[in-house]
Amino acid sequence: MSVVSASERPEPVESDGDSRPHLVLCGADALVYTLAEELANSRHRIRITVITPHRVRSDVPDLAGLADRGVTWHKADRLDERAFQDAGLAGAAALALVMPDDMINLHAALCAREVEERLRVVVRMSSRGLARSVDRLFPDCAVLSDAEMAAPAFVAAALGEVAPTHFRRADRTLYVAHRADVPPRRVVLTLTVTDEQGEVSVLPAEPEPDWMLPTDLVLAEAVGRPPGEDVTRKLLTRAGRRRSPLTTFGRAVRAALSRKLGLAVLITLATTVVAGAVLNGFDDKRHGFWEQIYITLLTAVGSSDVQEGQDPIAQAAQLVLTIAGLALIPLITAAVVDGMVNARLALSQGRLAGELRDHVVLVGLGTVGTQVMRQLHDLGIRVVAIDRNSNAVGVKAAANRQIPVIVGDAADEATLRAAAIDTCRALVVLSTNDPINLEAALRARSSHENLRVVLRLFDDDFAQRVETAFQINTSRSVSRLCAPVFAAALLERDVHATIPVDRHAVMVATVTVAAGSNLDGAPLEHADHPGEARVLGMSAADQEWIDWRPDPRRVLAAGDRILVVARRSGLRALSELAI
């Protein structure tokens, strides 16, 4: 293994006559290590070079441990032409840009094009706008979102599924379901059919609905439940927990009495009364109890006059009284305003805590959390989101779907209660900070022992140990979930998801038609092979829009992209037809 610095101006990597394909990986978090490990453990004979900054996340394992598996490690703080030349990108078969920053990946893609034009590029992108820009830079390019790939696993864990049974593509969520559970208009593709002898056929030609058993599996479109009063009323009826007006009003009154402001007002009032009593005690005139209160309050609001020749104690008391009076009115105003705001929040949160049941509490609205939220909503699952940042990535998306967002610390018991943690079906913690995620999960589990908890951790080994030690239902590493798909894309397999079907696993992938290939000029039906590969949709060249019900007689052209559900052998055969 060679560990060098870009500042030391090393000599470019030479192939030494090595005919194995050369792959270059660039990253700064756990994904680059997991991807390198995935490729190093594969059966393909390849050479791997990894480029990282000098400083990477602390949870990234030591890449030096992969040296015995043929992984070369370079360090460069800037991914420019010189860094790529030093790493031997010229003549490489593929480049993976998996830095966590979209702009860094875009800049690196532009620099890589200057070093090697004929290069397969796999880019990690969360912004769809930038993804389309990168896609135009190279004739052979795959743009992947780790958030979109990881989200199905977290959703499946939250719903108690053994494995992900749904995926999202082009603003559409598709899921696996039994035929009896899906309206016919929502069925997209048949995955399995069982014959009279009990034999299961995977990816068959579309049968007549009457020939299918209720237990046969289909791929269906998830459309979610539109929010509204009717849905809320049904949820309340099922939950049987409609709160009385008095209970709701009491919650609002308690929230309106802010502890800090209440103490400030009480202390100020007490100081005012004591100072007024002292001042009246030094007055020659003897006043009754009511008159003392009257004079004290009147003085407090600014009606006092300076009295010369008074006793120093009396003057001091008058000074304190005047200052206290100046503070009293703003404090009362602040208390009223704060009380009104808290009362409104309490009324809103009271409806959440009182009316929600069987929902999912989602902590963290970053890129992964936003994707999970969208897919849960598409699947018709009620969601309450929590994030410490009111400007988090997914806050706007939540507002568009009328999903309530609580701004606060998920490790705080009050925040969890506001999200109706007592009646939820699962807690999914997906922030980008491992300690915060673990603290929130353990706090919720300590209060609710039977709560299903799904936890995101960056370190896969740590995630497995936490799952065992703390009895967390599921802990996942995003890098471990996504690395196989990035590896498949580097090896020219544009795979988006893997779905378990019966005892088999089928892949959702895109096959691009190359000029002069067997599919160039052929009808779309030539790409459909029942039992091996089924066409799910297609996009014309230079178009992002997917036709989910394409005409099988449509003639394919170079650049057209076919979205298929296929077995491994079927995808391999279809890829050979397309090149």
User: In this predicted model, which residue has the larger pLDDT, 282 or 391?
Assistant: 391
How high is the pLDDT of residue 250?
56
Residue 117 pLDDT: 83
pLDDT digits (tens, 9 = 90+) for 151-195: 887 888 888 775 667 777 877 888 888 888 888 888 899 988 888
Which of the pair, 145 or 53, is modelled with greater confidence?
53
| 76 pLDDT higher than 80 | yes
Span 521-533, pLDDT tens digits: 999 999 999 999 9
Both tokens assigned to 507: 């892949």
- Are 168 and 375 in contact by the 8 Å Cβ rule? The answer is yes
Q: Whole-angstrom Cα distance, residue 106 to residue 102?
A: 6
User: Which band of pLDDT confidence, cut at 50, 70 and 90, is reported for residue 412?
Assistant: confident
Pairwise pLDDT comparison (51 vs 113), residue with the higher score:
51
Lowest mean pLDDT among 3-12, 18-27, 273-282, 424-433: 3-12
Give the pLDDT band of residue 311 (cuts 50, 70, 90): low
| Mean per-residue pLDDT, 293-299 | 55
Q: What is the pLDDT of residue 438?
A: 84
Return the pLDDT at 339: 61
- Assess whether pLDDT exceeds 50 at residue 231: no
d(CA 286, CA 295): 12
Average pLDDT, integer, range 123-133? 81
Q: Which helix (H) or strand (E) holds 564?
A: strand 561-566
Highest mean pLDDT, choosing among 121-125, 134-138, 205-209, 248-252: 121-125
Reduced to 3 states (helix: H, G, I; strand: E, B; else coil), residue 49 is: strand
Q: Which residues contact 566 (CB under 8 A, 6 or more apart)?
A: 203, 506, 507, 509, 532, 533, 534, 574
Q: How confident is the model at residue 341 (pLDDT cuts 50, 70, 90)?
A: low
- Report pLDDT for 239: 34
Per-residue pLDDT, 52: 95
Rg (CA), the chain: 32
- Residue-wise DSSP of 519-551: TTTSBGGGG-BTTTEEEEEEE-TT----BSS--
% of the chain beyond a pLDDT of 70: 70
- pLDDT band of residue 44 (cuts 50, 70, 90) is low
Longest pairwise C-alpha distance within the chain: 112
For residues 29 and 60, the answer to whether their CB atoms sit within 8 Å is yes
pLDDT value at position 397?
92
